[in-house]
DNA sequence: CTGTTAGCGCCTTCAT
DNA sequence: ATGAAGGCGCTAACAG
């Protein structure tokens, strides 16, 4: 016959309670579930006994029976690079926070970006390990989205692919508003030429921030430069170094992630320049450390935790109602600190012919 | 009867394959599991059909049957404060990294630190959701440890409680060696009075770093000060501010976490002093950002990812062999950057009467 | 080599 | 108000 469940000492199951009380398992189950069609006396005895033997239901069995995973998956992309950004921590934290105290687990899953990615997704989705998925860092023409849409599995994308044929659920920041506010701030300080430090990877959020940057700059009559690298401090360092070497260099830069911004600040300092007067820097993200850098960084604060918690809410709600409401676009806040200043040798904003 | 499993379109089960091929479910199961006692022809047909209907096994059912969760849990402590440290990200990353490509899931679980904590642990352990647990931030007289030891559930503690009656599996850094090396570095620079910025919470690692600090200082004849706050930047700021206000203030400080160190650096700067000559700072941790701060911080680099990955290895191995090997103590590395320097108005190390 | 049988622990009809 | 029976999907033991 089958071996006993090996991982546990005794069998703390419903059967045990049923046997010591001389009732059926069914009754025990019902009493514990709080059904009203159990006599009060019986319920009391069952509950007492359950408490006595410290009964804890087996979640796995329960999940099999209910056909529900009671889990939300967060997929960390990219096998090699991995969990590279504090941003992911904030997402994990937001999801974790929302799930604390519930019976729903947070699964941190990985997927490589190669040919096996599709299989990985199938195993996660069709293997029944989760009820919903958080999918960050959406790529252009993202096959993961296609798959999830096709099988109708509940998921939330972080950032949307603008031209995707199917509408799918996503959360994102209001990139245009965020960028416009940041550019306005720079223009007010007197900057006339601004760079964007971006990534050349096929990431939707990078493209979207670039587009918003160009649009805002056009509106303000600001000269633009876009430099692309990777999403890492070292790349921010390299990009900024390249920018500083230019004779007609911009006086300010916006970086599309905190990590790039951190590297950029360091490059400015190592070139013997002062962040702010010599080169103003604004970063998308605003993870806690940028406020503690020198100088404290002006940042477009993205409410990652709140967005993720809300996304989890949506996924949980969708288990019952397919039309659960979802807040798609989130407002950011420009937190002005000391990495932005009027450019050296420039007048104040009021002197400038701003094309507004 | 029971409803159909609601979460899935069709029933991609073994039964489906069995029926279309006219063989038993058992045979299909065996063929897919790669057992040798299946005829090659049958196996081939089964595999082909499984591929055709894109069969993916149901993990939940498999887990129930095998009596195994195929999951490792990482418990994030403290409901209110939460996932407050980059350190946790590194742990999650280490565990995630090790688990990538396996069929074992990483569950990020939460537990409050109140009266319900015990129940939370019971639900996780006895509910069969994980095969093993990573338990960070061990407290003094930690009831979680008592419980896990009592039921014999596989777990790894991060940091050990020195006086616990039962030996249990843990990983930790070699705190004494790490601290001695840092203090030696400060002594070599000419520092004669050093502070430790610590936490007054009942955390084993804080006590352990304090003890190592006092021991190393005694060996070097260095004057000591210990200030205790919380584990946050703001606390580091407050502690350092307090230190700077002292007339006979130390010339250097070691902070027990990166977050405290980051706050401390900022306090030094805001008091118009220079980190290094006016106040040298070394921090335990060395998360990636401290190298990008100004000045780049000298740090005791803790190999968190490697430690966690190894802990996961151990938990996985323990599922088969109860005597799986475990590396308990890990070497740290002192990464000297620019936050440590000779104190102002002091000679070089060679001039000093060091009690070695 | 293959099929039958019997569960893993829980929950839910259906019958009493 | 309670019990018996069946099944979620998979796998192991025991026969042939």
Q: Check if residue B100 sits with its Cβ under 7 angstroms from strand D.
A: no
User: Is A98 an 8 Å CB contact of chain B?
Assistant: no
Residues 48-67 of B with CB within 7 A of strand C = 61, 64-65, 67
Element (H, E) at A266: helix A258-270
Q: What's the pLDDT at B12?
A: 66
Average pLDDT over residues A19-36: 92
> Which residue is closest to C14 in terms of CA–C1' distance?
B1
Element (H, E) at A91: helix A86-99
* Mean pLDDT over the full length of chain A: 90
Q: Check if residue A23 sits with its Cβ under 7 angstroms from strand C.
A: no
Q: Check if residue A64 sits with its Cβ under 7 angstroms from strand C.
A: yes
Distances (CA, A) of A83 to A138, B78, B169: 15, 23, 27
Average pLDDT over residues A315-322: 90
A161 min Cα distance to partner chain B (Å): 26
Interchain proximity A127–B7, CB inside 8 Å: no
DSSP 8-state code for residue B288: G
- Neighbour order of strands in the sheet with B132-135: A329-330, A170-173, A155-158, A132-135, A71-77, A105-111, B105-111, B71-77, B132-135, B155-158, B170-173, B329-330
User: d(Cα A327, Cα A331) in Å, to the nearest integer?
Assistant: 11
User: Is B262 an 8 Å CB contact of chain A?
Assistant: yes
Q: How many CB atoms sit inside 10 A of residue B322's CB?
A: 9
* Cα dihedral value B241, B245, B250, B254, nearest 10: -10
> Which residue is closest to D13 in terms of CA–C1' distance?
A1
Average pLDDT over residues A222-227: 98
Q: What's the pLDDT at A69?
A: 95
User: d(Cα B94, Cα A154) in Å, to the nearest integer?
Assistant: 28
A207 token code pair: 């493209």
**What secondary structure does DSSP assign to B102-139, as a single string?**
SSPEEEEEEE-SSTTHHHHHHHHHHTT--SEEEE-SPB
Question: Which of B3, B59, B107 lies closest to A105 in CB terms?
Answer: B107
8 A C-beta contact, residue B137 and residue B147: no
Distances (CA, A) of A72 to A37, A291, B188, B196: 33, 32, 52, 41
User: Is B294 an 8 Å CB contact of chain A?
Assistant: yes
How far is CA B313 from its chain centroid? 14
A240 min Cα distance to partner chain B (Å): 14
Chain A residues close to B293, C-beta within 8 Å: 292-294
- List, for residues A263-295, the tens digit of each pLDDT value: 999 999 999 999 999 999 999 999 877 887 888
**Å separating the CA of residue B127 from the C1' of nucleotide C9:** 11
Lowest mean pLDDT among A114-118, A221-225, B20-24: A114-118
User: d(Cα A318, Cα A169) in Å, to the nearest integer?
Assistant: 11
8 A C-beta contact, residue A262 and residue A296: no
8 A C-beta contact, residue A138 and residue A158: yes
8 A C-beta contact, residue B293 and residue B330: no
Question: Which of A63, A110, A127 lies closest to B96 in CB terms?
Answer: A110
**Å separating the CA of residue A10 from the C1' of nucleotide D9:** 25
At a CB cut-off of 8 Å and minimum separation 6, what does B22 contact? Answer: none
At a CB cut-off of 8 Å and minimum separation 6, what does B181 contact? Answer: B300, B332, B334
Average pLDDT over residues A66-90: 81
**Å separating the CA of residue B64 from the C1' of nucleotide C11:** 15
User: Is A14 an 8 Å CB contact of chain B?
Assistant: no
Q: How many CB atoms sit inside 10 A of residue B346's CB?
A: 15
User: Is A128 an 8 Å CB contact of chain B?
Assistant: yes
Q: What is the pLDDT along chain B (356 residues), one digit of tens a residue?
A: 333 333 343 466 899 999 899 999 999 999 999 888 899 999 999 999 999 999 999 999 999 999 999 999 999 876 555 566 778 888 998 999 999 888 899 999 988 878 888 999 999 999 999 999 999 999 998 999 999 999 999 999 999 888 888 889 999 999 999 999 999 999 999 999 999 999 999 999 999 999 999 999 999 999 999 999 999 889 999 999 999 999 999 999 999 999 999 999 999 999 999 999 999 999 999 988 888 788 899 999 999 999 999 999 999 999 888 889 999 999 999 999 999 999 997 544 444 444 43
Interchain proximity A61–B64, CB inside 8 Å: yes
Tell me the residue length of chain B.
Answer: 356
User: Is B78 an 8 Å CB contact of chain A?
Assistant: no
Element (H, E) at A210: helix A204-220
User: Is B356 an 8 Å CB contact of chain A?
Assistant: no
Q: Which nucleotide is nearest to B43 (CA to C1')?
A: C1
Q: Check if residue A6 sits with its Cβ under 7 angstroms from strand C.
A: no
Alpha helices, DSSP H, located in B221-278: 233-245, 258-270
Question: Which of B63, B109, B266 lies closest to A105 in CB terms?
Answer: B109
Q: What's the pLDDT at B347?
A: 46
Chain B residues close to A107, C-beta within 8 Å: 71, 105-108
Assign residue B159 a region (left: φ > 0; alpha: ψ between -120 and 50; beta: otherwise).
left
Q: Which residue has the tokens 């089964």?
A: B46
Q: Check if residue B37 sits with its Cβ under 7 angstroms from strand C.
A: yes
Percentage of chain A with pLDDT > 90?
A: 73
Distances (CA, A) of B29 to A124, A204, A238, B265, B291: 20, 42, 54, 61, 53
* Cα dihedral value A136, A137, A143, A149, nearest 10: 40
8 A C-beta contact, residue B259 and residue B231: yes
**Å separating the CA of residue A185 from the C1' of nucleotide D10:** 61
Q: Check if residue B134 sits with its Cβ under 7 angstroms from strand D.
A: no
Q: How many CB atoms sit inside 10 A of residue B265's CB?
A: 29
A329 token code pair: 């676009």
> Which residue is closest to D2 in terms of CA–C1' distance?
A27
Chain B residues close to A127, C-beta within 8 Å: 56-60
* Residue bearing the bigger pLDDT, A84 or A323: A323
**Å separating the CA of residue A3 from the C1' of nucleotide D2:** 31
Q: How many CB atoms sit inside 10 A of residue A17's CB?
A: 25
Q: For B209, what's the count of Cα atoms within 13 Å in the CB-facing half-sphere? A: 29
B1 token code pair: 């009867």
Distances (CA, A) of A240 to A174, A243, A273, B196, B262: 26, 5, 12, 37, 24
Chain A residues close to B7, C-beta within 8 Å: 67-69, 128, 131
User: d(Cα A229, Cα A237) in Å, to the nearest integer?
Assistant: 10
User: Is A83 an 8 Å CB contact of chain B?
Assistant: yes
Distances (CA, A) of B336 to A51, A295, B210, B281, B283: 56, 22, 21, 11, 11
Question: Which of B64, B88, B105 lies closest to A60 in CB terms?
Answer: B64
At a CB cut-off of 8 Å and minimum separation 6, what does B119 contact? Answer: none
Q: What's the pLDDT at A353?
A: 45
**E strands of A1-128, at which residues?**
71-77, 105-111
Three-state secondary structure call for residue B176: helix
Straight-line distance from the first to the last Cα atom of chain A, in angstroms, rounded to the nearest whole number: 80
């Amino acid at each position: 016959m089958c071996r006993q469940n090996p991982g546990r000492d005794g069998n703390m199951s419903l059967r045990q309670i049923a046997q010591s009380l001389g009732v059926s398992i069914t009754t025990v189950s019902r009493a514990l579930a709080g059904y009203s069609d159990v006599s009060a006396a019986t319920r009391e005895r069952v509950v007492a006994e359950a408490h006595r033997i410290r009964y804890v239901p087996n979640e796995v069995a329960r999940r099999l029976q209910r056909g529900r995973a009671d889990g939300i998956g967060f997929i960390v992309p990219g096998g090699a690079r991995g969990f590279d950004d504090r941003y992911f921590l904030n997402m994990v934290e937001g999801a974790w926070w929302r799930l604390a105290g519930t019976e729903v687990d947070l699964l941190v899953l990985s997927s490589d970006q190669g040919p096996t990615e599709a299989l990985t997704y199938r195993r996660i989705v069709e293997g029944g390990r989760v009820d919903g998925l958080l999918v960050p860092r959406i790529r252009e023409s993202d096959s993961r989205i296609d798959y999830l849409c096709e099988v109708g599995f509940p998921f939330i994308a972080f950032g949307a692919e603008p031209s995707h044929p199917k509408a799918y659920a996503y959360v994102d920041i209001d990139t245009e508003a965020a960028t416009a506010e940041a550019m306005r701030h720079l223009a007010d300080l007197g900057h006339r030429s601004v760079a964007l430090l971006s990534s050349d990877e096929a990431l939707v959020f990078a493209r979207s921030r670039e587009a918003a940057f160009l649009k805002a700059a056009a509106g303000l009559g600001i000269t633009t430069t876009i430099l692309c690298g990777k999403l890492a401090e070292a790349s921010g360092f390299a990009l900024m170094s390249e920018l500083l070497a230019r004779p007609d260099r911009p006086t300010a830069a916006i970086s599309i992630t905190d990590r790039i911004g951190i590297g950029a600040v360091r490059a400015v300092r190592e070139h013997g320049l002062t962040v702010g007067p010599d080169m103003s820097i604004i970063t998308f993200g605003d993870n806690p450390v940028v406020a503690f850098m020198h100088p404290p960084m002006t940042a477009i604060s993205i409410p990652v935790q709140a967005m993720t918690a809300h996304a989890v809410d949506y996924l949980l709600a969708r288990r019952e109602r397919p039309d659960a409401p979802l807040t798609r676009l989130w407002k950011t806040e420009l937190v002005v600190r000391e990495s932005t200043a009027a450019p050296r040798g420039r007048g104040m904003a009021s002197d400038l012919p701003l094309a507004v």
